[in-house]
Amino acid sequence: MAELPEYKNLIGGEYRAAASGKCLDSINPSTGEVWARIPASDRTDVEAAVKAASDAFPAWSALPAAGRAHYLRKVGDIFRQHSEELTRLELLGIGCQARKSNVPSPAGGLAFLWDRAAGLTLDAVTGRSVPLDANTLGITRREPYGVVAAIVPYNSPQGMASSKASLAIAAGNTVVLKPPEQASPAILRFGELLAEVLPPGVVNMVSGRGADVGDPLVRHPDVRKITMTGAPDTARAIQRAAADNLTSCIFELGGKSPNIVFADADLDKAAYGVTTQAIYTTNAGQACVGGSRILIQRSILAEMLKRMKAIAEQIKLGDPFDPETTMGPLISQAQFDKVTGYIEIGKREAELVFGGRYGPELVPSRPGGFWVEPTLFIAKDNTPRICQEEIFGPVAAVIPFDTEEEAIAIANDSRFGLAAGLWTTNLARVNRFIRDIRSGNVWVNTYLQTRYELPFGGIKDSGYGHDDIMEFTVEKTAVIST
């Protein structure tokens, strides 16, 4: 048996094993096999990483904005130079299909995030001046928090790590990043490359189980800002832990987003949007922003279901490296068990429209993978669990409606508020829905069109704040009298 590759933490510019010497297995979700090993870190490793970040902070924060921008562009070059390797590691770790993966490409890919952060460094130091009277001037200046803890989800590890870390260090902070235990190798290899271009301690990475690494990290008194993308219950635990130190937090959490189709919509475009981009082919539905509640006006219900089924039948499960594959596996056995449990609940609560199968027979060439086919239910109303709870898999529910008022009521009947989709040609309706839907993001006649020039965040159980460079600074006021 070939020796498994073993990845290590990045602490103070050094590539280190866990202090305990323990490791965790990394599972390839398309085969179910162990393919790599990562450090099983604990409090000792967290302490070392936070100290390294604290030690690096004075020199890094004192760099002029142009100096930090220079380093950020060098990090962007890493993605351009190592895109093939980093793409391969991400696909092995999360099973996302190659042609839909949001990992780097030779054309630039995630290098853009680091280049963008480089261009924003000046914003992070720009303050205001306010004349108070003839002899007195008030000024403000933006300053970094210090050490930032960044906690990254498994469904887009390198993208989330890059977004959080690039903005935090562009603002003058230093970072301790916790990769997802289910998909750490790509980020840890990226950390090894980072050590070649960044000063030691500016970015540190510590892998391990959630409680073993995450808990001491968010409780650490030297961590002054936390940014986490993940589940609401995890955010609540972090917020309770962070309260002791009054640590500032940013949370981008789950969703149960409505995707609303009116009879006057372009039905071909809407059917494709609600079936592919919104739920199934985006990481096999493992996306907090997925439009998994599909609200369809009753007069076009039968026609839309027919079109959606035809599109779903073209989705191909399989090897993530196969260019013909359009949907990959779920990330782990635990997620497979959760999602298939919801499918069984859905069969009792609602009517199955298509799908509902799961297991090795879906991809006979890879029987160890965590395979679930695209699944759609139709519910009588918004009360079933499959309409209220985040499933985080390729499972969606259609809810019919008649009027605008009914659609708005259903859309807002959720503890989540991350996103919403609207398909219509009625401009007045568009304005009303953008105003009335309770969510952080609304897409009209499109879905999942995110751009880093625009903020992205949620309300209610979908969190608060944005991974924006200004969120990684605090404003100081001074008054000068002559």
Check whether 100 has a pLDDT greater than 90: no
Domain 258-453, CATH among 3.40.309.10, 3.40.50.10310, 3.40.640.10, 2.60.120.1440:
3.40.309.10
DSSP designation for 5? P
Is the Cβ–Cβ distance between 127 and 139 less than 8 Å? Answer: yes
**CA–CA separation, 31 vs 129, rounded Å?**
60
**CA–CA separation, 337 vs 475, rounded Å?**
46
Q: What is the pLDDT of residues 50-72, one digit of tens each?
A: 999 999 999 999 999 999 999 99
Q: Work out whether strand 375-378 and strand 351-354 pair parallel, antiparallel, or are unpaired.
A: antiparallel
Determine the pLDDT at residue 98.
56
**Residue 115: helix, strand or coil by DSSP?**
helix
Check whether 104 has a pLDDT greater than 90: no
Check whether 290 has a pLDDT greater than 80: yes
In 3D, which of 361, 265, 277 has the Cα closest to residue 311?
277
Q: How far is CA 105 from CA 177, 183, 285, 320, in A?
A: 23, 19, 22, 15
Q: What is the pLDDT of residues 143-164, one digit of tens each?
A: 999 999 999 999 989 999 999 9
**CA–CA separation, 18 vs 128, rounded Å?**
45
As a dihedral over the C-alpha atoms of residue 187, residue 191, residue 194, residue 195, rounded to 10 degrees, the angle is: -170
Check whether 255 has a pLDDT greater than 90: yes
pLDDT-derived band of residue 282, with 50, 70 and 90 as boundaries? confident
Q: Residues 27-50: what's their mean pLDDT?
A: 97
pLDDT-derived band of residue 9, with 50, 70 and 90 as boundaries? very high
Top CATH class, 9-253+462-479: alpha beta
Q: For residues 142-160, b (16+ Cβ closer than 10 Å) or e, as one string?
A: bbbbbbbbbbbbbbbbbbb
Distance of CA 94 to the CA centre of its chain: 13
Determine the pLDDT at residue 385.
98
Q: Residues 474-478: what's their mean pLDDT?
A: 96
Q: How far is CA 219 from CA 53, 86, 339, in A?
A: 15, 31, 32
Check whether 25 has a pLDDT greater than 70: yes
Helices (H), 64-172: 65-81, 83-94, 111-120, 157-170
Q: Look-up: residue for tokens 């372009």?
A: 266
Check whether 101 has a pLDDT greater than 50: no
Check whether 103 has a pLDDT greater than 90: no
Determine the pLDDT at residue 106.
38
Q: What is the pLDDT of the chain when averaged over all its residues?
A: 94
Determine the pLDDT at residue 2.
66
Check whether 107 has a pLDDT greater than 70: no
The sheet with strand 223-229 has its strands ordered as 14-16, 9-11, 203-205, 174-178, 147-151, 223-229, 248-252, 463-464
**CA–CA separation, 237 vs 239, rounded Å?**
5
Long-range contacts of residues 57-63, Cβ cutoff 8 Å, at least 24 apart: 57/144, 57/146, 57/147, 57/173, 57/174, 57/201, 59/199, 60/169, 60/172, 60/173, 60/174, 60/199, 60/201, 60/202, 61/143, 61/144, 61/172, 61/173, 61/174, 63/172
Q: How many CA atoms lie within 13 A of 469 on its CB side?
A: 24
**Residue 178: helix, strand or coil by DSSP?**
strand
Determine the pLDDT at residue 279.
83
Q: Which residues participate in catalysis according to the annotation?
A: 178, 252, 288, 390
In 3D, which of 470, 452, 454 has the Cα closest to residue 128?
470
Determine the pLDDT at residue 99.
54
Helix 427-436 to helix 404-412 angle (10° resolution) is 30
**Domain spans, the chain:** 9-253+462-479, 258-453
Check whether 27 has a pLDDT greater than 60: yes
Check whether 339 has a pLDDT greater than 50: yes
Q: What is the pLDDT of residues 341-395, one digit of tens each?
A: 999 999 999 999 999 999 999 999 999 999 999 999 999 999 999 999 999 999 9
Q: Residues 290-305: what's their mean pLDDT?
A: 98
**CA–CA separation, 8 vs 2, rounded Å?**
19
Is the Cβ–Cβ distance between 207 and 181 less than 8 Å? Answer: yes
In 3D, which of 195, 290, 287, 264 has the Cα closest to residue 445?
264
Determine the pLDDT at residue 97.
66
Check whether 227 has a pLDDT greater than 60: yes
Show Cβ contacts of residue 420 under 8 Å, excluding neighbours closer than 6 positions.
257, 258, 259, 260, 291, 411, 433, 437, 439, 441, 442, 443
Check whether 264 has a pLDDT greater than 80: yes
In 3D, which of 213, 209, 249 has the Cα closest to residue 232?
249
Determine the pLDDT at residue 345.
98
Distance of CA 273 to the CA centre of its chain: 20
Host H or E run for residue 436: helix 427-436
21-26-32 Cα angle (round to 5):
145
Determine the pLDDT at residue 105.
45
